[in-house]
Structure 1
Amino acid sequence: MNVFQKLLPGVMMVYDYLIVGGGIVGLSTAYALTKRDPQAKIALIEKESSLAYHQTGHNSGVIHSGIYYKPRSLKAKFSKEEGKRLRAFCDLHDIPYELCGKVIVATEQEELPLLDRLYQRGLDNKLDLSIIGPEQLKEIEPHVAGLKAIWVKETGIIHYQQVARALAKEIQEANGEIFLNTKVEKVQEGKHGVMVECGNRTFETRYLINCAGLHCDRIAAIQGMKTNMKIIPFRGEYYEIKPNKRHMVKHLIYPVPNPKFPFLGVHFTRMIDGSVHAGPNAVLSMKREGYLKTDFDFKDFAEVMLYPAFWKIARQNIGEGFKEIVRSFSKKAFVKSLQRLIPAIMDDDLVASENGVRAQALTREGKLIDDFFVVSNEHSIHILNAPSPAATSSLSIGHYISEQIPG
């Protein structure tokens, strides 16, 4: 079926598998299920009027190599294996991508040991990379200033919404069904499956797959799952380099990340459309889908403020967190951070760009969940932490989830 479905009020729909969430992880999971079980009746539901709207649609478009992730973690495993899987899918569907590579740059002496440890982690993850000095760095990125850098060849760029559209087409051609404007309100688990109410529309399924991203913890809670975590939304704010200064960025340019802070720091990303973005900083969003500083939702905000674990992690990261807030409200401070990598970049070279929101899982003990996190029971599976590199790893995640589901 080549059109998205629109249910009539009161209609009961029965499926073998029901996927909640129309981002790239949900679409990849549905796609994997069509391959694993071609005869199964599969549906995907999405509360928005279009697919891949939130995290997928506000993605930086980077194909991550996996250098940052702990060896043998799901993030490291999926990033490494995804390269061939994603490129093959893109080649099949004529989706443009480029393995442009990136440099991770140490600009201060105290960063050198951290850079060396990161390089060793990349080697442990079996990546194709090398350590380079200032001269070779200048050859790769003439405008970057640094003492030493890691050249990561396996990093690339892509437009993930194009991947999402191709996945949706594949799902529909395999007789899977996609329903937009369909928001979950109630989940009831029975002896033989799960019933999902979406207003006056009801779905019955043998197995429920929760890929709801920013709302995944709420879907799990509606079903009565005990997860020991909550999604905390962080807004990533970006600037775009004006066209006449795009030549200053040839590849992707990253700082050495602070291992005590869960985010990578502001960096330069060349996009597949030729534009160049700078950022993101990372600040608490006062709404789960809060892309603007002014976006506010009382329920979302109160959930975070009344979650004791949030205050624990906030105290642990108060210094870096304060810097992120300053960068959020001061373009001058934001640019100063960028000048550590490219000294010649100036305020007038940048214009504000679209922001994104990251769904970060935080345990009740006050620990940010570092890896992909999945819980399941007899009739459902819930993907409860899938931040970056989830888009990079989406096809591998979908394959992994499909293998966890009973046949």
Structure 2
Amino acid sequence: MYDFAIIGGGIVGLSTAMALGKQFPDAKIALLEKENSWAAHQTGNNSGVIHSGIYYKPGSFKAKFCREGNLSMVAFCQEHGIDYEVCGKVIVATTEAELPLLNNLYQRGVENGIEVAKLTKEQVQEIEPHISCLAGILVRSTGIVNYRQVCQKYAEIAQQQEAALYFKQKVVEIKEISEGYCLITNQGEYSTRFLINCAGLFSDRMAELAQAKPSAKIVPFRGEYYELTPEKRYLVKNLIYPVPNPNFPFLGVHFTRMIDGSVHAGPNAVLSFKREGYHKTDFDFRDFFDTMTYPGFWKLAVQHATPGLEEMMRSWSKALFVRSLQQLIPEVQAEDVIPTHAGVRAQALQNNGKLVDDFLIINRPNAMHVCNAPSPAATSSLEIGKAIALQIVR
């Protein structure tokens, strides 16, 4: 019998294991991961950005955890010798209509306690010479890191704290027992007094197995990236973002210098027909059926029909994708970019068609379900894990 069992070996699950081991050093902790490596899905396929917290509603969990997580992630990397860089990023307006939106974003950054600076066109081009824009803001605290390396260190620390970490353990059934829960996997059974669900793309299904009745469903969105060819990497010094469309729940196509020196361009945001569907042709009937029969999806689709269609067209047309990149850097040509990896965002959607715009943690007797932890969960992971551990009273 374990004191705590965690489902999911992404960055939030591993951080939670580590935080529990620190908070309760005598506890027996198990973590169950269905793959044979850590961070195999949402965490391991993200853009590697240490976010500042500028985008999020003041007072929200995302704003608080991201701002604090930015500092704690940098400190963690320093302490454990993980390569990172606080390189900063610019967010730019390329049309007159975007200028008031850029100012709103600047004000939000100020409200969130983030160091931001307004930039003229000329000042932007001193930082990123190849940008075409009207104005911008500089967010100095944004950084880059390899989150797979971070997860590996989290796992090592959890094991040093004597947590039991298991690979290839896919949870297929959850039973309530007198002392807590019994987790039945494809390999065996694990009994626990307290269950913590950090299953990412499958967090809603794990909550359903535990009779938690989640108030939202995961709808997977694939983000597809291109990569600048090595000879064109000089076009991007650090990170370049557009002003996000306030009516569309994604940040827009941007340029990200990775910690290995490569430069990724993207992502778009298209519905995935499989929760772990990293390719256009990936399909899973149950995942597809769940989305197509969910009223919330159709309400969302109607509300965002035009930008959604544009995202789909950009997915199938490299020319359209490149055109969106040229709004930021006109010099980029089709031959300068090659396809690279895609990621899938585990986004929770309510029945009324509203995206869950904050981290969502559902508390139940002897259980806690993290049912919405997309970006900036990686940046915020140390803070999320700490918050989960602090909520538990033994």
What interval of TM-score do these two structures reach, taking the shorter chain for normalisation? over 0.9
- Residue 103 of structure 1 is aligned with which of 87, 90, 96? 90
Distance 1:83 1:333 in 2: 34
Distance 1:131 1:84 in 2: 22
The reply to whether residue 152 of structure 1 matches residue 172 of structure 2 is no
Per-residue deviation, residues 32-88 of structure 1 (Å, max 9, x unmatched): 001000110001000011111001110100000000000010000011111221122
Displacement after TM superposition at 1:190 (Å) = 2.6
Per-residue deviation, residues 165-194 of structure 1 (Å, max 9, x unmatched): 000000111111100000101111233211
- Residue 173 of structure 1 is aligned with which of 142, 145, 160? 160
- Residue 289 of structure 2 is aligned with which of 302, 313, 332? 302
Displacement after TM superposition at 1:251 (Å) = 1.2
Please show how residues 335-374 of structure 1 align to structure 2 within 5 Å.
335-374=322-361
Q: State the TM-score, normalizing by the size of structure 2.
A: 0.99
Please show how residues 315-326 of structure 1 align to structure 2 within 5 Å.
315-326=302-313
For 1:5, the equivalent position in structure 2 comes to none
For 1:123, the equivalent position in structure 2 comes to 110
Please show how residues 229-240 of structure 1 align to structure 2 within 5 Å.
229-240=216-227
Displacement after TM superposition at 1:214 (Å) = 0.2
Displacement after TM superposition at 1:200 (Å) = 5.0
For 1:259, the equivalent position in structure 2 comes to 246
Secondary structure of 2:358 counterpart: coil
- Residue 47 of structure 2 is aligned with which of 37, 60, 63? 60
The reply to whether residue 228 of structure 1 matches residue 201 of structure 2 is no
Equivalent position amino acid for 1:95 in 2: I
Q: State the TM-score, normalizing by the size of structure 1.
A: 0.96
Distance 1:301 1:64 in 2: 31
Please show how residues 4-403 of structure 1 align to structure 2 within 5 Å.
14-403=1-390
The number of residues matched between the two structures is 394
Secondary structure of 1:207 counterpart: strand
Per-residue deviation, residues 15-36 of structure 1 (Å, max 9, x unmatched): 0000000000000000000100
Distance 2:274 2:70 in 1: 33
Secondary structure of 1:375 counterpart: strand
Distance 1:399 1:272 in 2: 26
Equivalent position amino acid for 1:340 in 2: Q
Distance 2:270 2:298 in 1: 14
Equivalent position amino acid for 2:316 in 1: F
Per-residue deviation, residues 276-304 of structure 1 (Å, max 9, x unmatched): 00000000000000000010001100110
Between 1:199-208 and 1:307-316, the stretch displaced more is: 199-208
Amino-acid identity (%): 57
Distance 1:38 1:200 in 2: 27
Q: CA contact under 8 A between 2:6 and 2:196: conserved in structure 1?
A: yes
Distance 1:165 1:243 in 2: 28
Distance 2:42 2:7 in 1: 15
Distance 1:87 1:76 in 2: 17
Q: Which 4+ runs in 1 deviate beyond 4 A?
A: none
Secondary structure of 1:237 counterpart: strand
Q: CA contact under 8 A between 2:169 and 2:187: conserved in structure 1?
A: no
Distance 2:332 2:107 in 1: 31
Distance 2:391 2:270 in 1: 34
Distance 1:76 1:228 in 2: 22
Distance 2:343 2:186 in 1: 28
Equivalent position amino acid for 2:237 in 1: K
Distance 1:178 1:228 in 2: 30
For 2:391, the equivalent position in structure 1 comes to 404
Equivalent position amino acid for 1:406 in 2: V
Distance 2:284 2:321 in 1: 26
Equivalent position amino acid for 1:354 in 2: H
Q: CA contact under 8 A between 2:171 and 2:184: conserved in structure 1?
A: yes
Secondary structure of 1:392 counterpart: helix
Distance 2:162 2:35 in 1: 21
Secondary structure of 1:238 counterpart: strand
Q: CA contact under 8 A between 2:116 and 2:139: conserved in structure 1?
A: yes
Distance 1:28 1:252 in 2: 26
Equivalent position amino acid for 2:3 in 1: D
Which ranges in structure 1 are unaligned for 5 or more consecutive residues? 1-13
Distance 1:89 1:264 in 2: 27
